[in-house]
Amino acid sequence: MGNVVLVLEMNKILGMQEYYKRFLVDKTPTGGVFAAKTPGCMITAYKSGKVLFQGSDCEKEAGKWSSPNGTSAAIPGGKKSSSLAKVKTAAGSGLPAGFSDWSVIGSDEVGTGDFFGPITVVAAYVRKTDIPWLKEIGVKDSKDLNDEKIVEIAKAIKNVVPFSLMTLKNEKYNQVQGAGMSQGKMKAFLHNQAILKVLEKIAPEKPDGILIDQFVQESTYFQHLRGQKAVARENVYFSTKAEGIHLAVAAASILARYAFIQYIDQMSEAAGFRIPKGAGSQVDEAAAKLIMKKGRDALPAFVKLHFANTEKAEKLVYKKRN
């Protein structure tokens, strides 16, 4: 899918809104002026002055508004423009210069510190041509976004950004953890599988690089993957706080969080009450309530049993019953 970004004055954007009035869609993204969908192009105009044309007819539609006198700045295919803010590579990250502008597969996980719910890992491929649009719709570290915003952005990007989701459900998590597998090794398996699936999806295209939000040292990561039939090794980089280095990791973070939210919703329906996130006292109370309603045997399908919250919940149940 092609992209073209124009930078226009507001009076011209308002003229576009009138021109596309029969194609206007009801929902306008955050920071948007209008959104319209023609048979061959999605047009989204933002208060910043940027207008994104996306689809098979993107260049044709953008051409109607790109002026040769310099009043608009055309960026066919999303090429670099000095007016577009850049995500800066963190100092000392060891990444190549200009990495934040590369076409990258980013990988991140959610749920490792939550008592209830699975681990969700997403690898997402962000082409450099998609970076301006992702910035416009507010893609950033999922930890800086509330659930409502996560859902809104995830729905906007999930059909544009190639990605793969791996979900380690609680039953399987408890099984492999009980057999001695560390959470770090689980995550290494999930990240590698997600990345390989995205590489398959985009083949024969290859990313400029692969960035994993670092949870262990690089040597340990690959040690965890010893014996695996296939391991993604080419142009793989690791960095902490990678969501702030490349939007591919931020997009992966949002999609992983979105999947986790959906899973918690399903879990809440099965439990018959709202399941809280995190690992604080509120989850102890929720686990105790679950035991009271469904019995201790229900826990493995809902929680990570080795967390200290399990014992705390059992103590709460004992107090309630005695």
Q: Which of 61, 81, 45 is nearest to 2 (CA)?
A: 61
Q: How far apart are CA 136 and CA 30, in angstroms?
A: 8
Tokens encoding 257: 């969080």
Q: Are 247 and 113 in contact (CB under 8 A)?
A: no
Q: What is the pTM of this model?
A: 0.73
CA 301 to chain centre: 25
pLDDT value for 259: 96
Neighbours of 13 (CB within 10 A): 19
pLDDT value for 3: 76
Q: How far apart are CA 95 and CA 114, in angstroms?
A: 30
Q: Find the largest Cα–Cα distance for the chain.
A: 82
Q: Which residues pair with 3 in a beta bridge?
A: 54
Q: How far is CA 205 from CA 81, 125, 191, 192, 234, in A?
A: 24, 11, 20, 18, 14
Helix 281-294 and helix 247-271, axial crossing angle in degrees, nearest 10: 40
pLDDT value for 15: 85
pLDDT value for 12: 86
pLDDT value for 1: 55
pLDDT value for 6: 85
Q: Which residues of the chain have pLDDT under 50?
A: 68-92
Determine if residue 191 is left, alpha or beta; phi over 0 gives left, psi from -120 to 50 gives alpha, anything else beta.
Answer: alpha
Which value, to the nearest 10 degrees, does the dihedral of the CA atoms of residues 181, 186, 189, 195 take? Answer: -170
pLDDT value for 200: 96
Q: Is 106 exposed, middle or buried (0-12, 13-18, 19+ CB in 10 A)?
A: buried
